[in-house]
Amino acid sequence: MTATGRYIFCDIDGTLLYARGSGRIAFGKAFEEAYGVPVDMAHINFAGATDLRVVERLARENDVELQPDRTTYLFERLTLYLDQGMAQVPPTVFPGVVHFLERVSQHWNLALVTGNIRACAELKLKHGGINRFFTGIGGFGDDDGDRNRMAAIALERAGRPKAAYLLGDTPSDIEAARTNGMVSVAVCNGQFDRATLESEEPDIIVDSFDDADHLFQALEV
């Protein structure tokens, strides 16, 4: 079965892997370095969020006026600190993920829709040992602050594929799929339980990638 015109778009955090706090630490250090203001990251919920929206929230809460050049620098430092952090504390790839990616990548193109900026997304996949499965195509947290528009960008970059699935662990991922005419697959790896995700009416729901037989059937792999 050919992969032409067939794409599976994946969220990263809470779907494929757990970053073990490296992103939160890196974000706090990078914001302070870029804007000269120490920030409390403990209350920031990254589930379903995008890096641009997190920057905007931190700026609001700390009376900081955002400047494009400073935000660019912030993202550069974020990438550096994330790389350093994950070299010391690698992310945990969820059970079944590698087997899932190995199986579907023979028949589908794998791409991303993630709130991470592109550089950080690539680092997380690299440190998780799963970057080899992905095409480099995607919608990222430095493309747009809105996840629905990020998904639209990803589809455009993929050439508007005839078949498109979006895998994620939050209601925001389900909404992004629905808004853009993609098949939504909810994965119960993150902070949202099955009942919460079911209430959003995804097309498919799996408890984990170890519970993916019905997803394999839908994907015909």
- Which tens digits make up the pLDDT trace of 80-136? 999 999 999 999 999 999 999 999 999 999 999 999 999 999 999 999 999 999 999
The pLDDT value recorded for residue 161 is 97
Beta strands per DSSP E along the chain: 6-10, 17-18, 92-93, 109-113, 138-139, 163-168, 183-187, 204-206
* 211 C-beta neighbours (distance < 10 Å), count: 14
Bridge partners of residue 185, in order along the sequence: 167, 204
Mean of per-residue pLDDT scores for the chain: 95
Whole-angstrom distance, CA of residue 135 vs CA of residue 28: 30
State whether the Cα torsion 177-203-169-98 is positive or negative. negative
Whole-angstrom distance, CA of residue 188 vs CA of residue 15: 8
Q: Which domains does the chain have, with CATH numbers?
A: 6-19+91-219 (3.40.50.1000), 22-88 (1.10.150)
Query: Which residues touch 153 (CB under 8 Å, ≥6 apart)?
Result: 139, 143, 144
Q: Is the pLDDT of residue 1 over 60?
A: no
pLDDT band at 211 (very low <50, low <70, confident <90, very high): confident
The pLDDT value recorded for residue 190 is 86
In a 10 Å sphere around its CB, with 0-12 CB exposed, 13-18 middle and 19+ buried, how is residue 208 labelled? middle
Whole-angstrom distance, CA of residue 20 vs CA of residue 218: 32
Whole-angstrom distance, CA of residue 51 vs CA of residue 88: 22
Q: What amino acid occupies position 126?
A: K
Bridge partners of residue 17, in order along the sequence: 13, 93
User: What is the rounded average pLDDT of the residues 190-203?
Assistant: 96
Of all residues in the chain, what percent carry a pLDDT higher than 70? 99
Inter-residue contact 172 to 153 (CB < 8 Å)? no
In a 10 Å sphere around its CB, with 0-12 CB exposed, 13-18 middle and 19+ buried, how is residue 183 labelled? middle
Q: Is the pLDDT of residue 197 over 70?
A: yes
The pLDDT value recorded for residue 51 is 94
Q: Is the pLDDT of residue 2 over 60?
A: no
Question: Which among 140, 159, 150, 205 is positioned nearest to 7, based on CA atoms?
Answer: 159
User: What is the rounded average pLDDT of the residues 173-198?
Assistant: 96
- Per-residue pLDDT reduced to its tens digit, 3-49: 678 999 999 999 999 999 899 999 999 999 999 999 999 999 988 88
